[in-house]
Amino acid sequence: MGSTCIIMQKYSDPCTPQTLENIAYDSERKFHVPECAFHEVYPNIIIGGESSALDKGLLRRLKVTHVVNCAQGQQYGHVDSDEAYYQDTNIKFYAIQASDELGFNIAPYLEPTAKFIDQSMKEGGRLFVHCCMGFCRAPTVVISYLMIHQGMDVREALTLVRSKRVVCPNQSFREQLCELNERLRKSQL
């Protein structure tokens, strides 16, 4: 972890996947898929789905300089895009091949992807972070960036993202975000 990792100490109780689920669900204990194709969830970070990510005209209009595909692949539930797809746009591209399934270990991808996002932000970039729907994988990655490089506790980061877009990292991802949160917290003690 770099020196930018400072987890806020306002939470004395440990993070649990249930706590994160409570944040993701609405007051009626329901969640809904996002109503819009994309949302800016943090200054210059947009989360969206496949159709928007593949619409180069839209990305130009949004002034996107960087794309992060959190679901790269050709199989069902993935988005088949790569650096070559964006070659004519001057968009910088980064991808991980994460699956939205219980038990998938997204943890090894979180810090490298957060580092790419952070570097993009330092370059004055505007990012479009996506998976198929912008509901689970992409928000997980953005939340980890906010934790690692913006010093947010996972609950604070999820609350912020959730205030801008309907998102719900799956149970496995919530567990891994809690583990990351604990590691970051311990590194600051």
Q: Which residues are catalytic?
A: 131
End-to-end CA distance of the chain: 14
User: Under DSSP, is residue 72 helix (H, G, I), strand (E, B) or coil?
Assistant: strand
The backbone torsions φ and ψ at residue 175, rounded to the nearest 5 degrees and listed phi first, read -60, -45
d(CA 3, CA 16): 25
130, two tokens: 């996506």
Smallest CA-to-CA distance from 139 within 86, 100, 91 is with 100
Burial of residue 134 (number of CB atoms within 10 Å: 0-12, 13-18, 19+): buried
